[in-house]
Amino acid sequence: MDKFDSKILRLLIQNARITGADIARKINLSLPAVTERLRKLGRSGIIDSYTIRVNREKLSLHLMAFINIWIDHTKNTNVKDQITAIDEVLECHHVAGDYDLLLKVLVSDTAALENLLVNKIKAIKGITRTSTTIILRSYKEEINSKAF
């Protein structure tokens, strides 16, 4: 991971569909050199995968929320597997704190949120309590760290 690799990663984060030739031009390296570096970055696992960002508003997914979950650990059910299988759950983190799991969920509206909570999340055995925080607005939502 030298300076060139960092630059390549930054360019890819801005637009993963950029061509190798374009990268070569921008960082002043020959195309074969860039191709080789891309292969290495892929093989080394630094590049996890290529994806797109979809506009959630345009897909009518307007409501995002965080849900804290308390788990009764005496009931040894695998809550996390059931949680992560839910489509609306974007993230599921095990945290060190008052509660056990923190979810980020994305739904179309409050009705869908209610349905998610009542029929999907609270239906899972072992969950003793939940607490939901609605997101009013997201000022920043990065996929990747720029800190490299």
Partner DNA sequence: CGTGAAATGATAGGAAG
Partner DNA sequence: CTTCCTATCATTTCACG
Least distance from C-beta 79 to DNA, angstroms?
Answer: 42
Contact positions toward its own copies, by CB under 8 A? 1, 9, 12-18, 44-56, 58-59, 61, 64, 66, 80, 83-84, 87-97, 102, 106-107, 133-148
Number of residues that bind DNA (CB under 7 A): 14
Distances in whole angstroms, Cα of residue 16 to Cα of each of 10, 49, 101, 142: 10, 10, 32, 15
Residue located via tokens 């093989």: 43
Between 19 and 110, whose beta carbon lies closer to DNA? Answer: 19
Q: CB-side exposure of 105: number of CA atoms within 13 Å? A: 31
Find the part of the chain contacting DNA (CB under 7 A) among 25-33, 93-101, 109-117, 138-146.
25-33
Distances in whole angstroms, Cα of residue 97 to Cα of each of 5, 25, 76, 81, 82: 37, 48, 20, 21, 21
Cβ contacts of 142 within 8 Å, gap of 6 or more: none
> Is residue 7 near DNA by the rule CB under 7 A?
no
Least distance from C-beta 60 to DNA, angstroms?
Answer: 19
Q: Which residues are near DNA by CB under 7 A?
A: 4, 19-22, 28-33, 35-37
